[in-house]
Structure 1
């Protein structure tokens, strides 16, 4: 498989998110918490963001999927990461890793290496982050690699996809990339094939970005319109935009 998803597949996965309302447990950076929570809610999912090492496993145990974002990792987060990995491993729960600035920090690289031992993990990063992880990813053949940019590329054991939707304003608002990882996790919570799940999430998010850009005057109003566009995305709009 090496193509974009069709509108019917994207609509089906989004409908399952809206119907099941999976809770996505996010150990994420402080810059992105609010926007991530709002995007998940607009998408039809439910966010939880407990980070204390003494409770994070209990809270994550009932979630539909887990997100680990390394953007503002601290001592609590460093202790919490192994506990979240163990929950995901013990329960075969989908887990998405967002290796923010992994190329800048040995600590982040070490935590990413621990995460990449998890079977079936999904990694979503920009091209610089994914290049920094290339040696570790080469040793994790079961991982799904999601490289986002002007064209999003998804590589999984079952094939690959390229997603061409989105808008340049999505790079002008803090936290929108981090939020995309949470949306991938939401789709992974309802779709067993991570290639399809990531493709649906990024297609929907990119189309919402295109709609928001048409209605906004700059980054500030774009962020507001993006939440609305994501919340109001329907099968007819997907069909019209994807073709």
Structure 2
């Protein structure tokens, strides 16, 4: 985790264009604001490209995707590619239906994505590696390192596999993160907000794999810190402390609890 990446985000307050799922819009916006970025949520095909052309990064999350939103995602992704801004794809539940699968294939064909973030089952599906799934959840086990390497090389991207141990891969190097807390699995949209934090860190001056590792490490550390508060009794009381923690300095999060 590099402190300079966090500091640069908070100094520049990058504008991140979110084409994300309807369940998490408010949570994502508040979490990113606390972290130091600036969220915008424009899903209409008529202005998605225009917004992306002035944004510093674009997040494509297919969690509650509708057919009419696919055009907006592709227009936004193309505009970001033209500008040279990072694009992050979160293929939520990609293996759950042929509709989701076809959308992700189309996006990957027409947009170059800087990073693909998801659980092991989602990323395994993208490269035809068998992995058990239940809806949008990954419930199987296997060689996650193999999945990360194949995704990174197949799509010329940074692969980010989330789990008990997060894996970041640039196609050659495998990086690991062990910060985090299981309570995040009880919070709707925790992974979606992480996608926003990753996109924001990718706007800084550093290698993508280091930016991504910093994002997942900081996110996990914030979760650990928030859960350590004596007022936290479960997911409901965890959330406000977590939003607060996303705005803290690394030194505060690491302070003895």
Q: Taking structure 2 as the reference length, what is the TM-score of the superposition?
A: 0.85
| 1:41-120 matches, cutoff 5 A | 41-117=33-109, 118-119=111-112
Matching of residues 1-243 of structure 1 within 5 Å: 5=1, 9=2, 11-117=3-109, 118-119=111-112, 121-135=114-128, 137=151, 140-157=154-171, 159-215=173-229, 216-232=232-248, 234-237=249-252
> Which structure 1 residue ranges, 5 or more long, are not aligned?
none
Shift of 1:75: 2.6
Alignment deviations for residues 143-171 of structure 1 (CA, whole Å, 9 cap, x no partner) = 11100011000111352210000001011
Q: CA-atom RMSD, angstroms?
A: 1.8
Q: Give, in whole Å, the separation in 1 of the partners of 2:245 and 2:254.
A: 15
For 1:46 and 1:104, locate their aligned partners in 2 and report how far apart those are by CA, in whole Å.
Answer: 31
Q: Give the secondary-structure state (helix, strand or coil) at the position aligned to 2:77.
A: helix
**1:137 Cα deviation (Å)?**
3.1
1:106 shift after superposition: 1.9
Q: 1:114 to 1:191 in 2, by over 3 A?
A: farther
Give the drift of 1:112: 1.7
Aligned counterparts of 1:193 and 1:109: Cα–Cα separation in 2: 29
- Contact 2:57–2:200 (8 Å) recurs in 1: yes
Instruction: Give SS of 2:30's match.
Output: helix
Asked if the contact 2:17/2:52 (under 8 Å) is kept, the reply is yes
Which whole-Å CA distance do the structure 2 matches of 1:200 and 1:138 have between them?
Answer: 18
**What is the alpha-carbon distance in structure 2 between the residues aligned to residue 193 and residue 107 of structure 1?**
34
Query: Hey, what's the Cα distance between the residues in 2 that align with 1:190 and 1:113?
Result: 28
Moved more, 140-149 or 196-205: 140-149
Tell me, in whole angstroms, the C-alpha distance in 2 between the residues paired with 1:113 and 1:89: 17
Q: CA deviation at 1:89?
A: 2.0
Count of aligned positions: 232
Unaligned stretches of 5+ residues in structure 2: 129-149
In structure 2, how many angstroms separate the alpha carbons of the residues matched to 1:71 and 1:192?
A: 29
